[in-house]
Structure 1
Amino acid sequence: MTTARFRDLLAAEWIKLWSLRSTSWLIGLGSLAIVAFAAQSSLDAYNSWPGFTAMEKATFSPLNEAFSALGACMLMIGAGSLGALTIVGEYATGLIRTTLAAVPARHLVVAAKLTVTGAVTLVTGTLISAGTFGVSQAILSGRGVAVSLGDPGVLRVLAANALLAPVSALVGMGIGALVRHTAAAVVTVCAALVIVPTFFKPTVHQWQNDLFALVPFYVWRYCLHLPRLDVDPALPTVGGAWAVFALWPLAAAVVTLIVVQRRDV
């Protein structure tokens, strides 16, 4: 039997990813919706600027108009759902049997699936991050409050916004491998990535802050999304936040590999 080349597996996973109707909808319409929301939010700020108080103007964040917490939630839910469906969809249709019959080396199949999904969502997240930033700052520049790529913290914020997509997608794959039911997987993705973490806020109890600082949405919201960081032990550090962004998809990839290796199709 001829061993499948990894690039052939990548091509196969690319075809399977785009054969899912949800892929085009989630990436296409989802991206447009997030950029449109950034434009509307920026226009609202532009129109309301003359009526802002001095305090409101002093604390105004142009980057928040470009990519707010709501935009992050939309991106994480969409990317996480897409990641889950790449696994669940193949099991639901029975295509996984054909795949594993053709390529018994399950770890290679999982590696190809992770690579393609991670790459597609990374490109998507980058385009969304750049698009929301460009549209928003073009609008806010009319009030003289826009920021540029060279301003402190801007590139970090844009990178964090972009990485939310692949992080969420790979976590979604891990959840899909565990759950294997479309509706349940999507609900679990929404709950784990967005719904539950939105209730986490800095507290006076440091052990809770340390626990919350292990959650991607939390470290994005209270650290990586902020161009100016406060030195506060209750808030995540930049290094710790990037570590969380790296460890969650890594752990999800390991879970996906173990589950696909050990469970029957």
Structure 2
Amino acid sequence: MRYYVVLLCLALAFLSSCKTRQYSRNNKQIEKEAQKQNPNPISYTTLTYIDAFKGVAIEEMNRYGIPASITLAQGILESGSGASDLAKYANNHFGIKCTSDWKGKAYYKDDDQKDDCFRVYKDPRESYRDHSEFLKRKRYSALFELDKNDYKNWAIGLKNAGYATNPKYPDLLINIIEKYQLYLYDSPESEREKLAREDRVFKEINANIPNEKKLFTPVNVAPKDPPSNVDGKYYTVQQGDTLYKISQMFKLSVDDLKSLNQLPDNNIKIGQKLIVVK
């Protein structure tokens, strides 16, 4: 009997070792593809991360009702302000794991269990959208009865609904939101008001946090001449771009841009080519 137990243990150890090697090869392939697609990845500070993704977080809030402050704080915390391997190689900024309905690629790393499976996205914007879709599950439904400005109870509710196992998770989110004044992104506003507020908020943050590297570029005033990444009548979407920002660059309305490019909504992706000449 003892002999068969030993054999079983050896077999299980062998299978585990095979799986680990398989996952390692898979990860190297994912990393190789990511480096080929983006050979010069951006190295973010927390401030530049906020500057890069605040627009996406606000879009997701307007579409799904999730406070932009919560989305940004989770992105900062889960991705290490974009510095984690999951963010760099899998474009996964929220640590969302594979589920039985996930059909995309996977990246493996030790988390709650050894070689946990995490989702791989084409770009960070897709990760932000999937985060919103993820929170629309039934287990988080009570959160959407809260006010969008109630970031404290959103943070507590996420923990209570099982989003994270760390008992300090709500405090971590709330501290990030309050340190960087992310709650200012939770109020509904017009595009013009949003742009003016973003410029003001980042000036205030830079004044209050002198030790962080200040590399962000405030969004906003349309340049006199079109930017250099224009090829004929096409513009290539850059990190931090929104339809409104691009429309201002080329003196078009958002509706004109959507019509020229047959866009069903305001969602655009980095690297996407848009027609900007009527």
- Assess same fold via TM > 0.5: no
Task: Give the TM-score category using the shorter length.
Answer: under 0.3
Larger relative contact order, structure 1 or 2 (CA cutoff 8 Å, min sep 6): 1
Which structure shows the higher strand fraction? Answer: 2
TM-score (ref. length: structure 1): 0.24
Larger radius of gyration: 2
TM-score (ref. length: structure 2): 0.24
